[in-house]
């Protein structure tokens, strides 16, 4: 090849702002609906993104600063998804279901400079506000037409912020490796862990997601004609990245604010929603809403992720005409990794073979290098006779845990991101997750640390040993089960109530989320152990499931 000439060609950086070009050209009048709050088109959306950036800039936000959001899913959250990173700042999507102590930890750890707080979360923030280490500006979000006074210590209200400096903000180019978002996962023991994503990663993730959901020779799962509504909170791994994809495609989008099953059903029906995604628990809740009986849900396509799709739930969905399929990912993976292959399956069928196909963890998307390996990073043979850990490489994985060299090294040992999930690849190339290495309990979409529960129960007089495991639950995915051995030496006989009360005290103090209180407590003579003397939680899970 002859020498490449010097050129004034535009070196297109993969920035979040670039996701807006196509939809602004092709779908300027397309609607974005925010529950019962408001509806506007993409032109107004674009205008408000600029006004938000201008307002944040006017209150002092600079590139590299961190802007946190505590909000329900609404148009304002979507505006933040774009405006904050587009101005070079970092969007911290706060998990509003954390305990107050965990909330404080994440605010301090992320070094938030501004926090946008919906009125429903002001009380929660107030509990910890005095212990926020850095000065923060507080922006108030509310759903009333007008407010008379700002809550104590708040600086400005969101709509007034937008009106501060007009809509001619210019989003400049910068390095595509600039960090765009951060949030915290409480998947393992100890403090929440911060993951982070760059502009380049989010743009490539959006492209990868759309490529995986829209192949035209298969069943099109996300197309131009779809109407999108999330049922996974936007704080959970960027609402699985789908708000970015839906905006890039210029789809009609519907944001439901607080998730109430009746409202979700009404919005699906009134706004003609055709595409959504959620964890199994939310789908159970939706199908239990009385309004479902008289609502036609046929044509609705829903990705189930965050946990395996139980076949019983898949069957319930099919009976309502909903097309369900599975996707897999995690907080550390942006999140998209795999999606179940629905080619050739009959969407009306409740035959076992079709239910099983939908529930497979799925096939890797474009650019996803997925392996199942043993502890020496050797590939496990396909087929399912053996299982191993799922490890991955894609361009959109968190490069580590914020501020934790040790955690980052462990996550990326051997040059692949370790998911901690166990599974195998079947003959068709589909991944099936069979278990997870971590023993954390996932109840109602929230992680509970088993060690933390054990620590609390172990301090109760009359208890000698304790194990906390998650047992499958139709409604909540999992519920914690406490298995305890009594201390025969003790004069005090520990009771089920003692255990519940001890955990409740930690819930009351804000150290644990309310899902931690177990319904089931089993007293045994001795707890099963592995060959090296550890609690054998695998056996316990099987026994008590």
Binding residue for ligand AMP, selected from 202, 227, 330, 517, defined by CB under 6 A: 330
∠ at Cα 102 (97, 107), nearest 5°?
100
Range in contact with ligand AMP (rule: CB under 6 A) among 144-152, 302-310, 342-350, 527-535:
302-310
**Distance in Å, CB of 176 to ligand AMP, minimum:** 25
Minimum separation from the CB atom of position 237 to ligand AMP (A): 6
Cα dihedral angle (403, 407, 409, 413), rounded to 10 degrees?
-150
Question: Sheet harboring 417-425: ordered strands across?
Answer: 369-373, 388-393, 417-425, 431-436
- Residue 185 touches ligand AMP, criterion: CB under 6 A: yes
Contacts of 439 (CB under 8 A, 6+ apart): 450, 451, 469, 470, 537
- Residue 447 is a catalytic residue: yes
Binding region for ligand AMP (CB under 6 A) out of 210-218, 226-234, 250-258, 413-421: 413-421
Cα(31)–Cα(250) distance, integer angstroms: 9
Q: How far is the CB of 212 from ligand AMP (least distance, A)?
A: 14
Q: Which two tokens stand for residue 25?
A: 């050209």
Residues 6+ apart with CB under 8 A from 144: none
Candidate residues 88, 241, 306, 444; the one interacting with ligand AMP per rule CB under 6 A: 306
Q: Is 331 in the site for ligand AMP (CB under 6 A)?
A: yes
- Considering the complex, what minimum distance in angstroms separates the CB of residue 188 from ligand AMP? 10
CA–CA distance from 373 to each of 204, 335, 400, 440 (Å)?
A: 26, 21, 20, 22
| Closer CB to ligand AMP, 187 or 407, in the complex | 187
Count of residues that bind ligand AMP according to CB under 6 A: 18
Strand (E) or helix (H) holding 265: helix 261-270
Catalytically annotated residue among 79, 271, 332, 454:
332
Stretch that binds ligand AMP, among 31-39, 64-72, 219-227, 414-422 (CB under 6 A): 414-422
Nearer to ligand AMP, 23 or 276 (CB): 276
Selected from 421, 452, 454, 498, the binder of ligand AMP by CB under 6 A is 421
Rounded-to-integer distance, Cα 458 and Cα 204, Å: 47
Q: Are 241 and 55 in contact (CB under 8 A)?
A: no
Which residue is listed with tokens 């068709």? 428
- Per CB under 6 A, the list member of 30, 307, 323, 450 interacting with ligand AMP is 307
Q: Quick check: is 389 catalytic?
A: no
Catalytic residue status for 185: yes
Answer yes or no: 442 catalytic: yes
For residues 323 and 331, which CB has a smaller minimum distance to ligand AMP in the complex? 331
Interaction of residue 419 with ligand AMP, rule CB under 6 A: yes
User: Near ligand AMP by CB under 6 A, which window of 31-39, 326-334, 341-349, 461-469?
Assistant: 326-334
Among the listed residues 34, 361, 387, 449, the single contact to ligand AMP using CB under 6 A? 361
Other Cβ atoms closer than 10 A to 498: 18
Q: Does 187 bind ligand AMP (CB under 6 A)?
A: yes
Of residues 305, 470, 480, 518, which one binds ligand AMP by CB under 6 A?
305
Buried b (16+ CB within 10 A) or exposed e, 457-494: beebebbebbbbbbbebeebbbbbbbbbbbbeeeeeeb
Calculate helix-pair angle for 75-86, 42-58, nearest 10 degrees: 60
**How many CB atoms are located within 10 Å of the residue 131 CB?**
12
User: 93, 185, 274, 333: which is the annotated catalytic residue?
Assistant: 185
Binding to ligand AMP (CB under 6 A) within 38-97 occurs at none
Based on the shown chain and the rule CB under 6 A, indicate whether residue 433 belongs to the binding site for ligand AMP: yes
- Measure CA of the first residue to CA of the last residue in the chain; give whole Å: 65
Binding ligand AMP by CB under 6 A: which of 308, 448, 494, 503?
A: 308
Residues in 206-245 that interact with ligand AMP by CB under 6 A: 237
Alpha carbon distance 136, 124 (integer Å)? 16
Between residues 50 and 360, which has the closer beta carbon with respect to ligand AMP?
360
Distance separating alpha carbons of residues 24 and 247, to the nearest angstrom? 9
By beta-carbon proximity to ligand AMP, the closer residue of 178 and 186 is 186
Distance (Å, whole) CA 364 – CA 329: 10
| Choice from 81, 158, 169, 328 touching ligand AMP (CB under 6 A) | 328
Active site residues: 185, 332, 442, 447
For binding to ligand AMP (CB under 6 A), which residues are involved?
185, 187, 237, 305-308, 326, 328, 330-331, 335, 361, 419-421, 433, 436
């Amino acid at each position: 090849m002859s020498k490449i000439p010097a050129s004034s060609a535009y070196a297109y950086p993969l920035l979040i702002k670039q996701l807006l070009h196509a939809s602004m050209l092709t779908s300027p009048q397309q609607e974005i609906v925010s529950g019962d709050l408001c509806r506007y088109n993409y032109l107004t959306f674009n205008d408000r993104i600029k006004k938000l950036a201008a307002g944040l800039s006017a209150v002092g936000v600079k590139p590299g600063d961190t802007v946190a959001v505590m909000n329900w899913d609404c148009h304002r959250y979507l505006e933040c998804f774009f405006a904050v990173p587009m101005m070079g700042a970092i969007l911290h999507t706060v998990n509003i279901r954390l305990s107050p102590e965990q909330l404080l930890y994440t605010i301090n750890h992320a070094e938030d400079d501004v926090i946008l707080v919906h009125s429903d979360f002001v009380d929660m923030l107030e509990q910890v506000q005095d212990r926020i280490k850095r000065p923060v500006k507080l922006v108030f979000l509310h759903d009333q037409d007008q407010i008379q006074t700002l809550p104590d210590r708040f600086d400005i209200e969101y709509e007034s912020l937008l009106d501060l400096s007009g809509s001619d903000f210019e989003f400049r180019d910068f390095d595509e490796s600039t960090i765009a978002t951060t949030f915290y996962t409480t998947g393992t023991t100890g403090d929440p862990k911060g993951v982070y994503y760059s502009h380049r990663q989010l743009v490539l993730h959006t492209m990868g997601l759309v490529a995986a959901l829209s192949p035209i020779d298969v069943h099109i799962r996300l197309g131009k004609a779809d109407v999108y509504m999330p049922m996974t909170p936007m704080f959970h791994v960027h609402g699985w990245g789908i708000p970015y994809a839906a905006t890039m495609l210029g789809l009609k989008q519907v944001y439901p604010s607080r998730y109430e099953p009746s409202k979700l059903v009404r919005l699906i029906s009134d706004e003609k929603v055709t595409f959504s995604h959620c964890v199994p628990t939310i789908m159970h809740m939706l199908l239990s809403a009385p309004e479902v009986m008289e609502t036609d849900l046929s044509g609705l396509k829903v990705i189930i992720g965050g946990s395996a799709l139980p076949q019983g739930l898949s069957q319930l969905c099919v009976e309502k005409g909903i097309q369900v399929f599975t996707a897999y990912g995690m907080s550390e993976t942006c999140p998209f990794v795999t999606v179940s292959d629905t080619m050739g399956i009959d969407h009306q069928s409740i035959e076992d073979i079709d239910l099983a196909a939908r529930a497979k963890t799925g096939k890797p998307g474009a650019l996803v290098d997925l392996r199942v390996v043993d502890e020496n990073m050797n590939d496990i043979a396909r087929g399912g006779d053996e299982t191993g850990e799922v490890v991955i490489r894609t361009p959109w994985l968190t490069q580590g845990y914020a501020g934790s060299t040790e955690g980052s090294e462990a996550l990326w040992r051997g040059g692949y991101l370790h998911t901690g999930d166990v599974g195998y690849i079947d003959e068709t190339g589909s991944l099936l997750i069979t278990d997870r290495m971590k023993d954390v309990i996932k109840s109602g979409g929230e992680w509970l640390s088993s060690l933390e529960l054990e620590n609390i129960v172990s301090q109760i007089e009359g208890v000698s040993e304790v194990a906390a495991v998650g047992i499958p639950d139709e409604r909540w995915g999992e519920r914690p089960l406490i298995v305890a051995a009594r201390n025969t030496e003790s004069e005090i006989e520990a009771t089920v109530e003692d255990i519940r009360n001890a955990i409740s005290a930690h819930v009351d103090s804000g150290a644990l989320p309310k899902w931690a209180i177990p319904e089931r407590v089993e007293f045994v003579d001795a707890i099963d152990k592995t060959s090296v003397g550890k609690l054998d939680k695998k056996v316990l899970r099987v026994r008590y499931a």
